[in-house]
Amino acid sequence: MTRQQELAGAHQKPLSAALERMHAEDVVRRIWKHDHTVWQPDPTEITNRLGWLHTPAMMVQHLRQIEELVQAVRTDGFTHALLLGMGGSSLAPEMFRKVFGVADGYLELSVLDSTSPDAVLAHAESLDLARTLFIVSTKSGGTVETLSFTRFFYNRALEQMGPNEAGRRFIAITDPGSKLVDLAHELSFRETFLNDPNIGGRYSALSYFGLVPAALIGVDLRRLLDRAQRAAGACEPGIDLGENPGAWLGAILGIMHEAGRDKLTLIAPPAIASFGDWVEQLVAESTGKEGRGILPVVGEPLATPGSYGNDRLFVHLQLGENCSHTAELEALRVAGQPVVQLHLDDIYDLGEQIFLWEMATAVASYFLQINPFDQPNVEAAKVIARQMLAQAETEGGLSAGKPSMEDDTFAIYGESRTATPPLALRAFTADARPPAYIALMAYVQPTPEIDDALLALRIPLRDSLGVTTTAGYGPRFLHSTGQLHKGDAGHGIFIQFTEEARRDAPIPDAPGKQDSSVTFGTLILAQALGDHAALQDAGRRVLRVHIKGDTASGLRRLERTLRD
């Protein structure tokens, strides 16, 4: 089981007290007994969301179905797979792809979870549809982004191959009784995997939602599940809480939140860096509600102690025996920052880590006194976006409103304290101090170049203000940190980036039909404006920066302004 390093100094005493409290209230045993009163007196969205406790053992019984599919599509000449999903349906497959790569003879897996028309068209034009397996992945069966992707790619396959072959390029992963079950039957999908409905989306990495895509790239599922079962065994009742890794880590997250250290800063080597994106959704969407929340911080390089406030908890994931951050982590410890170290022997220990973090999140939520399995604020932005889409269909377009200032490169929407748009970002964040955090929300096509530009923006904001920064692509983060943004204590400062898409793509109204009432360009704009309005309704400060030309160049210009 994963080796862990104890908290030192002043942080050890409250941890010991927290573990004693858990022992007195028999928390671990009650979790395994599906006792909803660990979190809330009402069992709604708790008792039917604890299937993840048993997933590692249960899924071993279903591996044959997965293995038969993988063998069949390889035999039929498929070379690529494109997963169409959002949130919990897409983050685990993306993590497995980035960590494990693709084994010889297996399928190259890509993940589409962006409604940017440039992103959709880039996938459409790079794939050989005749050799591509489309994985339609949605728990509810009604996720608007996933269904839009499905209609778009099904129509492309239909045009190229006809109705008899188009459906066999698609498989579905969903819950029993969802609308996707009927759609998959109607369109003659190759196969439908029905997941345990008692597993929430962000807790589904070790279910069909994560394992089917992982098997297609050649991950050894039995080995992965064996590690997860080992973690589950170590987290069972009867084990001393100091030796129970899920109870131990969850208690740390809980007491650090109580102490105001609610910024969970994950440090990981490049080989497993994408695990942080999966943890981000799990922790943020589970804990960010009712005026509380733990904010995961991923992808941020380590800095000297002077760059941080007193609102951080650092968790270092060490892979193998090499530790490239020894000096930096020791400096943080000396400065009084709490640092936890978790050890992975190899990449298959991700199976352990997935279960460990699921249990730790459930335990932390006990300390926060919230339900870790619901997402009450996620719907707010969706409702406004749907209203805007209805308006666009009726009026033939969507108005973005009037900017408060603009030039040839930027249009600024929101409060403006400067004379020129490039200075707006600096002015908007000038008063930020811990425990504030700054969230960069990019409703643009995800590319490595944009990744680099967003990271470059985060560093001067952190170093000059001492505040935590995060970055995410819209609309995918709406199914992740979007819940926390609107449900936490309200310390967030939000900066949206939108762009002028180079092209647009119509979304078919129905599979097999050419009629289209809305485009992907309209959809992503509606989602950005809906999120903007929902944040304002929640009393958050938000600024939208629309970039007129090349998006990466615009972001770099803003970075230079911040550094100057």
Give me the percent of the chain exceeding a pLDDT of 90. 89
Average pLDDT of the chain?
A: 95
pLDDT at 36 over 60: yes
Q: 242 by DSSP, 3-state: which?
A: coil
- Dump the DSSP string for 115-129: --HHHHHHHHHHS-G
pLDDT at 323 over 90: no
Which helix (H) or strand (E) segment is 464 a member of?
helix 448-465
Mean local confidence (pLDDT), 502-524: 95
Helices 117-126, 144-161: axis angle to 10 degrees equals 30
pLDDT at 456 over 60: yes
Which helix (H) or strand (E) segment is 314 a member of?
strand 312-319
Interval 361-398: pLDDT, tens: 999 999 999 999 999 988 888 888 888 888 888 877 78
CATH code for 9-33+230-368? 3.40.50.10490
Q: What confidence score (pLDDT) does residue 331 get?
A: 95
Interval 68-86: pLDDT, tens: 999 999 999 999 999 999 9
- Dump the DSSP string for 4-52: B----GGGHHHHHHHHHHHHHTTHHHHHHTT-GGGT-SS-TTTTTS-GG
CATH 3.40.50.10490 domain residues, the chain: 9-33+230-368, 54-219, 378-563
Q: What confidence score (pLDDT) does residue 447 get?
A: 97
Check whether domain 378-563 has CATH 3.40.50.10490, yes or no? yes
SS (H, E, C) 516-527: CCEEHHHHHHHH
Residues 6+ apart with CB under 8 A from 408: 548, 549
Interval 133-168: pLDDT, tens: 999 999 999 999 999 999 999 999 999 999 889 999
Give the CATH superfamily of 54-219: Glucose-6-phosphate isomerase like protein; domain 1 (3.40.50.10490)
Q: What confidence score (pLDDT) does residue 382 get?
A: 85
Could you tell me if 247 and 235 are in contact, meaning their C-beta atoms sit under 8 angstroms apart?
A: yes
Distance spanning both ends of the chain, measured CA to CA: 48
- CA–CA dist 322, 425 (Å, integer): 39
